[in-house]
Chains A and B, each alone.
Chain A
Amino acid sequence: MAITVKKVDRNVDMTLWERMYIPEMICGMLITWRHFFLNFVGLFLEEVGGKHYRRIATVYYPEEMPIVPVAYRGRPVLVRSKNGIEKCVACGLCEAACPPNCISIIGGERPNGDRYPDSYVLDGSRCIFCGFCEEVCPKEAIVMSHDWKNLCEYNRSKMVYTKKELLYPERNLQKRFDVLRDKYFSAYRYRQSPNLKTEPKE
Chain B
Amino acid sequence: MSNNNMITITIDGTEVTIDGGKKIYDACIQAGIYLPGLCYDPKLTRFGGCRMCVVDVTSRGRTRTKWACCEPVKEGINVSTNSEEIRKKRKVIMEFLLAAHPLDCPTCNASGDCSLQDAAYFVEQKRGRIPIKRRNEPLLIDNPVIERDYNKCIMCGKCVSICDEIQGNGAIGFQKRGYWTEVGTPFRIPLKCDFCGQCLHVCPVGSFQDHTELYKGHAWEYETTSTICPYCSVGCTVVANVKKGSFVKITSNDLIGVNNGNLCAKGRFGHDFVQAESRLTQPAVYKHSKQEDCTWSEILEITANNIKKTIQDYGPDSVAVIASETMTNEDAFTLQKLFRSIGINNLQTLSNLNNPELNSGIFEKFGALAPLLDYNELSSAGSFFFFGCDASKENPVIANMVRVVMRDKKIPLYIANCRNTEFTPHEEERILYKYGSETHLLAALMLKLSVFPNSEMVNVENPFGSPGTTPSMNMPTAADISGVSEEEIADMAKGLSGAGKPVIFLGKEIHDHKRSTDIVAAATNLANFLGGRVILYREYCNSQGVNDMGISPTHLPNYKKVQDVDLAPAIDLFEKMKLGKIKTLVVADCDPITHFNDGKFVQEAMSQTEFIVALSSFATSTTKLAKTVFPLTTSYERDGSFTNNEGRVQLIRKVIEPIGSSRPIWEIMKDLGSNLGIEMSYNNCEDVANEISQAVEAYRGFSHKNIAFGSQVAKYKAMSDEKHSLNFTIKNVEQTEQIDVKFPITAIIGNSLYHLGALSRHSKTLNNIEPRVSVELGPDDAKNLELNDGDEVTVKSKHGAIKALLKVDNRSPIGVVFITKNFEVAPALHLIDRNDSVLKVTIAKS
Contacts and interface: CB of A to CB of B under 8 A. Distances in A.
Interface of A: 89-93, 95-96, 104-109, 112-113, 115, 118, 138, 194-195, 198-201
30 contacts: A89-B106, A90-B107, A90-B215, A91-B107, A91-B218, A92-B106, A92-B218, A93-B106, A96-B220, A104-B244, A106-B246, A107-B214, A107-B216, A107-B217, A108-B214, A108-B215, A108-B216, A109-B215, A112-B139, A113-B138, A113-B139, A113-B147, A118-B214, A118-B216, A195-B132, A198-B134, A198-B136, A199-B134, A200-B136, A201-B136
A113 B146 CA distance: 12
Contact of B243 (A106, A115, A138): A106
A92 B132 contact: no
A91 B218 CA distance: 8
Interface in B209-258: 211, 214-218, 220-221, 243-244, 246
Contacts, number: 53
Interface of B: 106-107, 111, 131-139, 141, 147, 211, 214-218, 220-221, 243-244, 246
Contacts of A95: 221
Contacts of A115: 107, 215
Nearest to B108: A91
A103 to B, nearest CB: 12
A113 B213 CA distance: 12
Query: Interface of chain A, helix or strand or loop or mixed?
Result: mixed
Given A107-B216, A113-B139, A89 B147 contact: no
Contact of A106 (B133, B141, B147, B217): B217
A106 B131 contact: no
Query: Interface of chain B, helix or strand or loop or mixed?
Result: loop
Nearest to B248: A106
B107 A89 contact: yes
Contact of B244 (A89, A106, A194, A195): A106
Nearest to A96: B220
Contacts of B141: 113
A92 B214 CA distance: 14
Given A89-B106, A89-B107, A91-B106, A109 B134 contact: no
Given A89-B106, A113-B141, A113-B147, A106 B134 contact: no
B217 A201 contact: no
A113 B211 CA distance: 9
Contacts of B243: 106
B254 to A, nearest CB: 27
Given A89-B106, A104-B244, A118-B216, 18 more contacts: A91-B106, A91-B218, A92-B106, A92-B217, A95-B221, A106-B217, A106-B243, A106-B246, A108-B216, A112-B139, A113-B138, A113-B147, A115-B215, A118-B214, A194-B131, A195-B132, A199-B133, A199-B134
Contact of A109 (B136, B214, B246): B214
Contacts of A93: 106
B221 A92 contact: yes
A138 B107 CA distance: 10
A198 B134 CA distance: 6
A199 B217 CA distance: 30
B275 to A, nearest CB: 13
Nearest to B220: A96
A105 B132 CA distance: 30
B135 A201 contact: yes
A121 B12 CA distance: 50
Nearest to B214: A109
Contacts of B218: 91-92
A109 B141 CA distance: 12
Contacts of B131: 194-195
Q: Which 8 A-B pairs have the closest CB atoms?
A: A91-B106, A113-B139, A107-B215, A109-B214, A115-B215, A195-B131, A89-B107, A109-B215
